[in-house]
Amino acid sequence: MTILEAKRVGKQFAVKDSASLWKKKVFQALENVDLRLDSGRTVGVVGESGSGKSTLGEILGDLQHPSAGTVLYKGRDVRSLTKAEYRQFRRNVQYIFQNPKESMNPYFTVEKILTEPMQVLLDSYDAASARRRAAEMLGRVGLAESALGKYPSELSGGQCQRIAIARALLLSPEVIVCDECVSALDVSIQAQILNLLKDLQREFGTAYLFISHDIGVIHYMSDEIIVVNHGHVVEQGEGAAVIRAPKNDYTRTLIASAFFTREAARCGAL
């Protein structure tokens, strides 16, 4: 089932013109992107820093408005949803960001971090069952129930990322936008989190928009890959095909540099 669609989505920003103190110029951060997020599938978005990946993720989650094109939620323009439908959209489209600690209130315990979104976004809420669900979900992401009483500052980056995943999943979302969600973690923890996300996708049928600058991570996660460069989609297709037979030079460069990094690490040069 198709949950979210982007149709010819574009984004322009007004930025300062370096040639003049008071003039502004238009910067095209994203142009003409079409994509579809289906239940249980992952669309990977890859490109170097500044290529427009986060802008695309934020437009799909309605954290930014597109300057062109439309976002459809279950076939309907997000802008045309009623208030009640929009609340459903907010609950059903969740985010996991690069630095989970920054998205958590440092004065909240893990219990409060996990239960507060349920309190705000679920139609029926009762504190005892929310706490029980939070404790169960902690188990699913590989943490002990005792973490409920801790504060983010008492947890490692990997543990915080698991809590961010648990927080998103507790709302039973249809889509999760994962924006560089393993980029700040050690490689061994990265693998654990990626496998956890895959297992949870199999179990819950969630659609992922998986954003990363790392084509290795994107290859591992994605059914479909979109390669963006300076806001343009330079290649889009079935995951294995894009990696095996890239049609675009920029994709080839990304693949070659990932291969170089891996080989250099293997030889101990990095």
Tell me which residues touch Mg ion (CB under 5 A): 54
229 is a contact residue toward ligand ADP (CB under 6 A): no
Separation between Cα atoms, residue 234 and residue 265, nearest integer Å: 29
Contact yes or no for 170/117 (Cβ under 8 A): yes
Between 71 and 135, CB nearer to ligand ADP: 71
Sign of CA dihedral 194, 197, 199, 202: negative
CB nearer to Mg ion: pick between 54 and 94: 54
The item of Mg ion, ligand ADP, none sharing an interface with residue 13, based on CB under 5 to 8 Å by kind, is ligand ADP
According to DSSP, the residues that pair with 44 across neighbouring strands are 210, 225
From CA 245, how far away is CA 88, in angstroms rounded?
40
14 vs 269, beta carbon nearer ligand ADP: 14
Least CB distance from residue 97 to ligand ADP, whole Å?
11
Interface residues for ligand ADP in 164-183 (CB under 6 A)? none
Residue with token string 């049928």: 205
Q: Which is nearer to ligand ADP, 11 or 91 (CB)?
A: 11
Which of ligand ADP, Mg ion, none lies near 162, with the C-beta cut-off 5 to 8 A by kind? none
Q: Report, in Å, the least distance between residue 234 CB and ligand ADP.
A: 13
CA-based Rg of the chain, rounded to a whole angstrom? Answer: 19
> How far apart, in Å, are the Cα atoms of 33 and each of 79, 80, 261?
18, 21, 29
- Residue closer to ligand ADP, measured from CB, 114 or 242: 242
Sign of CA dihedral 134, 136, 138, 140: negative
Instruction: Work out how close the CB of 5 gets to ligand ADP at its nearest, in angstroms, rounded to a whole number.
Output: 19
- Part in contact with ligand ADP (CB under 6 A); list of ranges 16-24, 46-54, 145-153, 218-226: 46-54
SS3 95: strand
Report if residue 15 touches ligand ADP, rule: CB under 6 A. yes
Q: Taking CB under 6 A as the rule, does residue 51 contact ligand ADP?
A: yes
50 lies in the site for ligand ADP, by CB under 6 A: yes
Cα–Cα distance, 161 to 167 (Å, whole number): 10
The helix (H) or strand (E) run that includes residue 46 is strand 42-46
CA distance 133 to 154: 22
- Contact region for ligand ADP (CB under 6 A) — 17-25, 53-61, 115-123, 150-158? 53-61
Where do contacts with ligand ADP occur on this chain (CB under 6 A)? 13, 15, 27, 29, 47, 49-55
